[in-house]
Amino acid sequence: MNSHLDILLDMLSALPDPVFVLTESGRYAALIGGQDRQHYHDGAHLVDFSLYDVLPKAKADWFLEQINITLALNQLRIVEYGLAGADVDGLDSQQGPAGEIWFEGRIQPLATPVNNERAVVWVACNITRRHQLEAQLQLLSETDELTGAYNRRRLLDSLKLSLAQFREQQTPTALVLMDVDHFKSINDRFGHIAGDEVLRGIAHHAMAHLREGDLFARFGGEEFALLLPNTTLDTATAIAERLRQTIAFGNFLPDSHPPLIVTASMGLSLMQMHDHAIETILRRVDDALYQAKHSGRNCLVVAA
């Protein structure tokens, strides 16, 4: 008949999630559970190794920081992090989930030292599916359903962040507002379905030429915005002009006779040190857009 200790060991080994004992120096002292190879790799070989033996330095630094914070606070902490099997030296990547796995780590200080060191229990729970769903919901909440561009909410949030970064670092940042010229007449002549196709086509053209870090959003109706971080006035002007010309030469309704020519008016401004709120920037860019509309349309006006 099994003893209570044998039963306890069997129970611990059967835990679905891996439970690590990690010391304050970053050494794996023990590993229990985590036998489900659909959700976890076999980390048994990690015991007696250091975080720095098996992980890239940046990741090892992060794990050690979480251990030390938990020990300093002396309380349960919960963290989320991504880690792929390929990040850990010695793991058999064929015997476990592929790609990056997202974990919820529950870190609890141990009352008793381990190998003469303070230590924590770190329970790692696979939350990859939940993380993916949250990312999808986040994207849906920030995306314009018609065009696939970001929506007004995401633009305003990014604009606030960009303004804060600009005021701290003074890196040039530009904002462009764009309005499709005579859009009502497109809807009147060709119908709202065709009008929607034009808006989708403009967004597709714009997003196909974005640089890393640029943000293109539907601001409302037939109005779009382009946020250009780390961009000088000359570069921002060139990007906006190129987009304006791309739209003017685009073929958004190939079956229309005569061919539909679509143009856009644009206003542009750099952020200024006296800008304390995004409303100031938006007002200045909107004024420049207004000037473009009343200067013959299909042109770009840079705010003074």
Backbone φ and ψ for 30, nearest 5 degrees, come out as: -165, 155
* Residue 224 token pair: 């779009």
The DSSP code for 44 is: G
CB crowding 2-21: b at 16 or more within 10 Å, else e: eeeeeeeeeeeeeeebbbbb
Asked about 168 being catalytic, the answer comes back as: no
Contact between 34 and 18 (Cβ < 8 Å) = yes
* Catalytic member of 222, 223, 241, 279: 222
Question: What would you measure as the largest C-alpha separation in the chain, in angstroms?
Answer: 93
d(CA 177, CA 8): 65
Which residues lie below 8 Å from residue 20, measured CB to CB, with a gap of 6+?
28, 30, 31, 43, 46, 121, 122, 123, 124
C-alpha separations of 101 from 37, 91, 169, 276 in Å: 13, 14, 34, 41
**Would you please indicate which residues are annotated as catalytic (active-site) residues?**
222
